[in-house]
Amino acid sequence: MDISLNDQDLSVLLEVIPLPMLVLDTKEDRVVSANVAARRVLVDPLPEGFRFSASIKSDIAEFIVFLDEVIHRGSAWTRKIALTSQNGFPVECEIRAKVIAHDPDAQRAFIGLLILELSELSQHENQFETNRLHREGIVGWKHAEEFFAELELQNQLILNAAGEGIYGVNTQGQATFVNRAAQEMLGWTLEDLVGNVIHDIIHHHHTDGSVHHAHDCPIYKSFRFEQVMRVDDDVFWKKDGKPIQVEYVSTPIYNQKVLAGAVIVFRDVTERKLNEKKLLEAMNEVAELRDRLEQENAYLQLEITKERAHHHVIGRSPSIQQLHAKIDLVAPTSAPVLITGETGTGKSIVANAIHTNSLRKGRPLIRFKSGSVSRTAIEAELFGRSENANGGERPQMISGAIELAHGGTLYIENVCELPLEIQNKLLGVLQDGKFKRIGDTQFKNLDVRVIAASTSNVEREVSAGRFSEELFLALNVFPISCIPLRDRKDDIPDLVTHLLSVACERLNRPEPYVTERTMRMLTEYAWPGNVKELRNVIERAAIVSRGEKLIVELGGASGLRAQSAKTVRTEHEMQLEIRANIVMALKETQGKVSGKTGAAALLGIEPTTLYSRIKKLEIEKREWQVLDGGL
């Protein structure tokens, strides 16, 4: 079957195609039809029976291979074939070919050839790329715009959420933005600030009232000299005319590497500065008090040392020598000491000697003698108290004697008078080496040496169930007993001389001399109140003696002198003497025990001691009342 094409139809079809196109009859190598664009490239007008091979510049064999490929595959393209234009110029092109009709038996095919000049093709491609870029550019710009809008919104949110005040200024010092915190801290609104020179609004004066010139302003400096400025003590002025203390950082900002102004981040530190000021004042006050306390302490220590300088254990009797030996032995240790002896025999003098000869002498010797009657008061005096009076506020601390003695020595007088509960608590403290204030929750470590004293026979108190046996064992590590003055009369002259010189020094009086007679009288006296009583007598004598001689009055003791002439008295006789002396004293004071005019003062003993003696010796009211009534 032979095929044919309606040339007319083909021409019309080809003409609508803008690119060079022609139809080739392969059998006759004839261009059947070519559109105007193709004719413009090859030959125009197209001669009847124009042979396509005439336009091929390159090897014709290459074109035949290409046609075979087209017929075989139905379509193909190549850039290997160069054409010659009607002017004789070479036309570099891409030829795209497609089989329109094929009759293998007749070895004929009609093939459509599209000729794309490479120069135009690349122009097209460039144009296409440009269009594509243009299209994509617009889309990209839109994306960028959305992105920046989003970013700006987020930045605004961040700026407004920030706790610090933040504002920006341009290079003219005009505010460009102000975040919410800044507006709230300053009271100025966005309308008040943005576009205006912010220095004139919030930063115009110092607190002392002097003008803050813009040329001195660190914020201006930050963008003039392009440096970050940190200021920690400045003021910004609020809309209500009040200043707030601020600390701020001013950082220069750039737009496309060109200085655009500065951003200022600030904090209201008014309250902090106030607290710092208060703290500083409080610390200064504390330092002042500490200095004063140290001075007072130094002064008191000096006074105590001076006072204690007169508190040596005086005497040469064998019992006093023995006492010295014991003190020397026990002082350097930290062992507890239990000192027993009648009142006024020098128990506190011994405690002092032990302390001053120990390694603790640089720390205080605290004397504890509870004057309180109630158990809780005694407990607080000894262990301290931590009170939270105003609930929630810092508790008020009161240090007890035991805490004050930390590192030093605690001397407990009349230890037998401590209530049993407190005795047990004290025992616990000594065993554990820690204590707790009343009302406190925390234990504190304690390093204390305890020296306890008693006028009573402690073993007897233990047997009577009035004193804790365990505490007795804990304290009785090194017992020392103080011998009454009547058993060491040899010491009386030394004591008289010593006590007289101490008294005169204190009274700032010339020291009178003691006649032999007076010394004998003093030596022979029974001294139921021991050295304490002797001291009182000597002090009184130092006051009343106006002349050169010491005039001694032994008060109610005259009645006892006859008895005191006896060389040895029994313990019972001694007790009777003491009893009679107390009754006499009570008679003189009409039963008054304490106070300056009380019987205790007259006897030179503590009221508590006198009370316990009255009880122990079973002295009844009628005894001194009857006597009183008899006069």
Ligand X SMILES: Nc1ncnc2c1ncn2[C@@H]1O[C@H](COP(=O)(O)OP(=O)(O)OP(=O)(O)O)[C@@H](O)[C@H]1O
Strand-pair partners of 255: 258
How many other CB atoms sit within 10 Å of the CB of residue 156? 13
Cα separations in angstroms, 255 against 170, 259, 573: 11, 6, 113
Q: Which stretch binds ligand X (CB under 6 A): 71-79, 296-304, 354-362, 601-609?
A: 601-609
Minimum Å gap between C-beta 422 and ligand X is: 19
When asked if residue 100 is in the footprint of ligand X (CB under 6 A), the reply is no
DSSP assignment of 520-568 equals HHHHHS--TTHHHHHHHHHHHHHHH--SSBPP---GGGHHHHHHHTSS-
H or E element, residue 141: helix 118-161
5 and 101 Cβ atoms separated by less than 8 Å: yes
User: Percentages helix, strand, coil for the chain, rounded to the nearest 5?
Assistant: 50, 20, 30
Placement of tokens 């006072």 in the chain = 307
Q: Which stretch binds ligand X (CB under 6 A): 144-152, 184-192, 421-429, 527-535?
A: 527-535
Q: Which stretch binds ligand X (CB under 6 A): 29-37, 155-163, 346-354, 374-382?
A: 346-354
Minimum Å gap between C-beta 621 and ligand X is: 24
Minimum Å gap between C-beta 485 and ligand X is: 8
Q: Which stretch binds ligand X (CB under 6 A): 129-137, 279-287, 340-348, 417-425?
A: 340-348
Chain centroid to Cα 195, Å, comes to: 44
Minimal CA–CA distance to 502: which of 521, 604, 494, 296?
494
Measured between alpha carbons, how far is 155 from 140 in angstroms, rounded to an integer?
Answer: 22
Residues 348, 356, 423, 608: which binds ligand X (CB under 6 A)? Answer: 348
Cα separations in angstroms, 519 against 310, 312, 383, 525: 21, 21, 46, 10
Measured between alpha carbons, how far is 439 from 379 in angstroms, rounded to an integer?
Answer: 11
Which of residues 120 and 459 has its CB atom nearest to ligand X in the complex?
459
Residues 35, 183, 356, 609: which binds ligand X (CB under 6 A)? Answer: 609
Measured between alpha carbons, how far is 370 from 415 in angstroms, rounded to an integer?
Answer: 9
110 and 3 Cβ atoms separated by less than 8 Å: yes
> Which parts of 32-71 interact with ligand X (CB under 6 A)?
none
Phi-psi region of 49 (alpha: psi -120 to 50; beta: other; left: phi over 0): left
Minimum Å gap between C-beta 438 and ligand X is: 27
Which of residues 269 and 492 has its CB atom nearest to ligand X in the complex?
492
When asked if residue 606 is in the footprint of ligand X (CB under 6 A), the reply is yes
Residues 532, 579, 587, 613: which binds ligand X (CB under 6 A)? Answer: 532
Residues 19, 36, 314, 576: which binds ligand X (CB under 6 A)? Answer: 314
> Which parts of 452-481 interact with ligand X (CB under 6 A)?
455
Which of residues 121 and 314 has its CB atom nearest to ligand X in the complex?
314
Which pair of tokens denotes residue 448? 């204390």
Measured between alpha carbons, how far is 303 from 602 in angstroms, rounded to an integer?
Answer: 27
Q: Which stretch binds ligand X (CB under 6 A): 219-227, 249-257, 595-603, 605-613?
A: 605-613
Residues 341, 384, 408, 512: which binds ligand X (CB under 6 A)? Answer: 341
Minimum Å gap between C-beta 535 and ligand X is: 5
When asked if residue 539 is in the footprint of ligand X (CB under 6 A), the reply is no
Residues 413, 417, 539, 577: which binds ligand X (CB under 6 A)? Answer: 413
344-353 per-residue burial string, b: 16 or more CB within 10 A, e: under 16: bbbbbbbbbb
Which of residues 171 and 497 has its CB atom nearest to ligand X in the complex?
497
When asked if residue 315 is in the footprint of ligand X (CB under 6 A), the reply is yes
Minimum Å gap between C-beta 345 and ligand X is: 4
Which of residues 314 and 576 has its CB atom nearest to ligand X in the complex?
314
When asked if residue 583 is in the footprint of ligand X (CB under 6 A), the reply is no
Which of residues 343 and 468 has its CB atom nearest to ligand X in the complex?
343
Which of residues 114 and 538 has its CB atom nearest to ligand X in the complex?
538
Minimum Å gap between C-beta 627 and ligand X is: 26
Contacts with ligand X by CB under 6 A: the residue count is: 21
Which of residues 83 and 416 has its CB atom nearest to ligand X in the complex?
416
Name the residue with the smallest CB distance to ligand X. 346
Minimum Å gap between C-beta 273 and ligand X is: 57
Measured between alpha carbons, how far is 280 from 205 in angstroms, rounded to an integer?
Answer: 26
Minimal CA–CA distance to 99: which of 26, 161, 9?
26
Placement of tokens 């200024």 in the chain = 169
Measured between alpha carbons, how far is 337 from 354 in angstroms, rounded to an integer?
Answer: 9
Residues 343, 358, 456, 608: which binds ligand X (CB under 6 A)? Answer: 343
When asked if residue 344 is in the footprint of ligand X (CB under 6 A), the reply is yes
Minimum Å gap between C-beta 459 and ligand X is: 18
Minimum Å gap between C-beta 344 and ligand X is: 5
Q: How many helices and strands, by DSSP H and E, does the chain display?
A: 24, 21
* Strand extents, DSSP E, 123-220: 165-170, 175-178
Measured between alpha carbons, how far is 484 from 313 in angstroms, rounded to an integer?
Answer: 13
* Strand extents, DSSP E, 439-532: 444-445, 449-454, 478-481
Measured between alpha carbons, how far is 607 from 589 in angstroms, rounded to an integer?
Answer: 13
Residues 249, 426, 531, 557: which binds ligand X (CB under 6 A)? Answer: 531
Residues 31, 38, 349, 600: which binds ligand X (CB under 6 A)? Answer: 349
Measured between alpha carbons, how far is 259 from 72 in angstroms, rounded to an integer?
Answer: 71
Q: Which stretch binds ligand X (CB under 6 A): 109-117, 145-153, 293-301, 602-610?
A: 602-610
Minimum Å gap between C-beta 531 and ligand X is: 3
When asked if residue 605 is in the footprint of ligand X (CB under 6 A), the reply is yes
Which of residues 532 and 587 has its CB atom nearest to ligand X in the complex?
532
Minimum Å gap between C-beta 278 and ligand X is: 48
Q: Which stretch binds ligand X (CB under 6 A): 38-46, 271-279, 336-344, 574-582?
A: 336-344
Residue 214 DSSP code: G
Minimum Å gap between C-beta 315 and ligand X is: 5
Binding site residues, ligand X, CB under 6 A? 313-315, 341, 343-349, 413, 455, 482, 495, 531-532, 535, 605-606, 609
